[in-house]
Structures are given as structure tokens and as C-alpha cells.
Amino acid sequence: MFPKRVGLIVWINDFKAARNLERIGHIHFISKRMNYCILYVNEKDMDKTMAYLQKLSFVKKVERSYRTEIKTDYSSKTVIE
């Protein structure tokens, strides 16, 4: 029903130019201090999108976010006596 989304961390040189990333995917967060942007794109287009982002002049580096692969089910099995 809904396409599976994946997060990309895009390290940028120019904050104003990073606004152009809105046409590539959904911008979730932009850090002015650390100069990075979190961008969500469709999983099937991830490789093509990463290659395109690497070619942009204001992009330093593109990394994949592994947030979806981290276990978030926490259980406490300790017994307090």
C-alpha cells in the first residue's frame, strides 16, 4: 500500500542550497550548526538517489540511516527482590 521509506543523511556545504533537496525527497530535519540534512526517499530509488546526491556541488557526503534496523523492543527481565 505505502512505499517503504529509508532515511539518508546528507552532509552539506551550503544551507540555502540544501533547500533544493525538497524536490528529491521529504526533508525531515536540517541542522544549521552541524551542516547535515535528514532526507527520506523511497527504498526502491535509494541507490539512484544516492548517486545523484553525490554529484551535487553542495553535498559533501551521503550516508544511509540504519535507524530502521535497530531493535526498539525493550524488555526488562530483572526481578527486584
Helices (H), 1-81: 15-18, 46-55
Decide: 59 and 53 in contact? Cβ < 8 Å.
yes
Domains and CATH numbers, the chain: 5-69 (3.30.70.80)
pLDDT of 80: 63
pLDDT of 72: 73
- pLDDT tens digit at each of 81 positions of the chain: 788 999 999 999 988 888 889 999 999 999 989 999 999 999 999 999 999 999 999 999 999 988 877 777 777 666 566
Question: Is pTM beyond 0.95 here?
Answer: no
